[in-house]
Structure 1
Amino acid sequence: MQEEKAGFITPRTFPEDGQVLALQSTRRGGVSPEPWRSLNLGNNTGDEPERVRRNMRLLSAAAGFDPLRTVGSVQVHGTEVLHARQPGRHEGYDAFITDTPDLWLCIFTADCLPVLFYDPEHRAVGAAHAGWQGTAGEIAAKTLDAMRRAFGTRPGACRAWIGTGISGGEYEVGEEVAGRFPERCSAPASGGKRLLDLAAANHLQLVRIGVCEEHIERSPYCSKRDDRLFYSYRRDNGQTGRMASVIGIRPRNPRS
């Protein structure tokens, strides 16, 4: 039974020009039971596929995009970027770019960060799945570079949204992981561990490649701490659902 309308959050930094839709789902407003309650959008989580499909239909109806025109992938914590031109399900990609209207790029997370891009000059968008491995491999920078090569995107004109993931105060890692990032992106924790701030690491990466500070927005939420709104792989010991982050260019003549 659906408990409420499908929930999602949206960035404020993207221009309100009616041309782009960008969002990240919450866990609220779906039909999945525990431990996926309730708006689980991730396959390969143990949830029934039909419930996952119904949840996507609920989200798309609430947000206003076509669930039959989505692009997704079995994410592998890599740095491969796909230039998407049509709907489809792929494997091995952790980022997408497109300038095709009414094509909806989807990233699925439950602690990793979604990073969404909008180029208002060229009506183009991008989406990246940035866990610690992808962030260390500079997937955000590689996604924006793919947009530059494909569409002529200028980093200084691009908007970026770093969506909800595990926060720096909750993400405990070993020195071998923390050492792959600038020292200011982590802080000491007990037992020789470090607290890694993935959002800060991605933010620094974007600034370094030319995205303006005022064009970067970071979600104020934490997937691990805000359990009523978000799934967390760490908090729930892997038995949990996935949020979807979706971005696309609205069709010039929206369907009635």
Structure 2
Amino acid sequence: MAHTFSYTSPAIFSGFSELIAAESTRHGGVSPAPFTSLNLGINTADDAENVDENRRLFFSAIGAGTYPFASSHQVHGTEIVWATEAGRYTGYDALITDRPGLLIGVTVADCVPILIYDPVHKAVAAIHAGWRGTVGGIVTKTLAQMQQQFGTKAGQCYAYVGTCIDECAFEVGPEVAEQFNVAFKRTEAGSDRSFVDLKAANAHLLLMAGTPTIQLEISAFSTVLHNDTYFSYRAEKGQTGRMLAVIGLME
């Protein structure tokens, strides 16, 4: 069955009417192949006009058409920026804010997007975690930064671990595999092929920080297995678009 919706809203946040949270799909945009069709990634070979129009369509669809947007040129690191105004930062892989009316987000096409909401202190986070960010504990560092900045406690947070490359498709070499806990990797018997579960590894970091299991949602979708609905950098050999995962408090 082909899905044609342009975004999904994490169910874990459905009880919070003050929150906008969404993850885009590849449907409902204007970009031609191989960026078909809702490419929201600035750093792609797609025409900038297409990306601008796709972003306008997406933000409008989620009810954030007039909201300023803050993002970053991501570098697969663990740096976090406290965003207080719209703009494109550089060098950060996570954004946090407590500013109502400001949308923050990360672009992905296999890496894990993670969205966090602290309803007590009205603060949010958007995290981009590839394997380097996952190993580097970007989720843990983001929660620590939220605690420092806003008083956030992980036990009060609700979190969504989003759509990314799944364990059956994320094959890594031994030099990457050795950096992951045995619980989050599988090595094929009689070979040096290893597969890593990025969703489980990041969910584990949230749980270890104190986020209750019932306040955590993990996407059931895969960028590779559901490539007709999501962009996958690996499955499409780099010639593809990007999704956005965004979160923000309404004004």
TM-score by length of 2: 0.96
List aligned pairs for 1:1-256, cutoff 5 A.
7-66=6-65, 69-189=68-188, 191-251=191-251
CA separation of 1:58 and 1:5: change in aligned 2, threshold 3 A: farther
Contact 1:111 1:233 in 2 (8 A): yes
CA separation of 1:5 and 1:165: change in aligned 2, threshold 3 A: closer
Q: How far did 1:142 drift?
A: 0.8
RMSD of aligned alpha carbons: 1.4
Q: Partners of 1:203 and 1:5 in 2: how far apart? A: 28
Q: Partners of 1:19 and 1:90 in 2: how far apart? A: 26
Q: Partners of 2:92 and 2:113 in 1: how far apart? A: 14
Q: Partners of 1:82 and 1:6 in 2: how far apart? A: 31
Q: How far did 1:67 drift?
A: 5.7
Identity %: 43
Deviation per residue, 1:40-86 (Å, 9 max, x gap): 00012100011000000000111111365000111000011000000
Q: Partners of 2:37 and 2:108 in 1: how far apart? A: 15
Q: Partners of 2:85 and 2:188 in 1: how far apart? A: 45
Tell me how many residue pairs correspond in the alignment: 248
Choose 21-30 or 59-68, whichever is displaced more: 59-68
> Which letter does structure 2 place at the counterpart of 1:8?
Y
> Which letter does structure 1 place at the counterpart of 2:180?
F
Q: What residue number does 1:254 align with?
A: none
Q: Partners of 2:234 and 2:66 in 1: how far apart? A: 29
Q: How far did 1:122 drift?
A: 0.9
SS in 1 for 2:52: helix
Q: How far did 1:228 drift?
A: 1.2
Q: How far did 1:6 drift?
A: 6.1
Contact 1:104 1:248 in 2 (8 A): yes
Contact 1:66 1:102 in 2 (8 A): no
Contact 2:4 2:27 in 1 (8 A): yes
TM-score by length of 1: 0.94
Choose 76-85 or 190-199, whichever is displaced more: 190-199
> Which letter does structure 2 place at the counterpart of 1:99?
D
Q: Partners of 1:29 and 1:169 in 2: how far apart? A: 28
Gaps of 5+ in 2: none
Contact 1:172 1:189 in 2 (8 A): no
> Which letter does structure 1 place at the counterpart of 2:163?
T
SS in 1 for 2:56: helix
Q: Partners of 2:37 and 2:44 in 1: how far apart? A: 13
CA separation of 1:44 and 1:30: change in aligned 2, threshold 3 A: same
Runs of 4+ aligned residues of structure 1 deviating over 4 Å after TM superposition are none
SS in 2 for 1:13: helix
Q: Partners of 2:65 and 2:88 in 1: how far apart? A: 15
